[in-house]
Structure 1
Amino acid sequence: MSYDELKSVLVSLGIPEDDISPEASREEVGLDSIAVVELALVLRREKGVDVTEEEIGGTLTVADVAALVGARTPA
């Protein structure tokens, strides 16, 4: 999954597109604990990405989340 695909998922979760940038922290874009759970659920169920809430919660920036998701995306 690319950064742009992750950005699209984040927008679908209600995060304003203008708030999302690779350098933005999870907190800056509104990925609080509830949003992290929702993101992990969407990634697993709809995108087939095997990632946990804890792994997403361990990231610092949107770029870190994109790298994690990209590494876990099935080929």
Structure 2
Amino acid sequence: MTFDELKTLLVQLGLDPADITPEAGREEAGLDSLLLTELALVLRKERGVPVPEEELYAAPTVAAIEELVSRYAEVV
């Protein structure tokens, strides 16, 4: 998954596109635990990418989330 694809998905979940940059921390981007859970669900159900929620919670930045999702997408 590219950064732009992730950003589009996050905007669809209700985040402000201006806050979503690769170097933004989860909190800066607006990714609280509820949204991370929702992201994991959308990735699993709509994209077929089973990213564990615990790993999303541990990712410190949007770029780290992108890398994590990309890694799991390659496995599928």
| TM-score (ref. length: structure 1) | 0.95
Give the CA deviation at 1:73. 0.8
More helix by share: 2
Partner Cα separation in structure 1 for residue 55 and residue 70 of structure 2: 13
Q: Secondary structure at the match of 1:73?
A: helix
Partner Cα separation in structure 2 for residue 16 and residue 43 of structure 1: 19
Give the CA deviation at 1:7. 0.6
Moved over 4 A (4+): none
Uncovered stretches (5+) of structure 2, i.e. residues with no partner: none
Uncovered stretches (5+) of structure 1, i.e. residues with no partner: none
Give the CA deviation at 1:42. 0.4
Aligned-pair Cα RMSD in Å: 1.0
Give the CA deviation at 1:49. 0.8
What is the aligned-residue identity percentage?
53
| TM-score (ref. length: structure 2) | 0.94
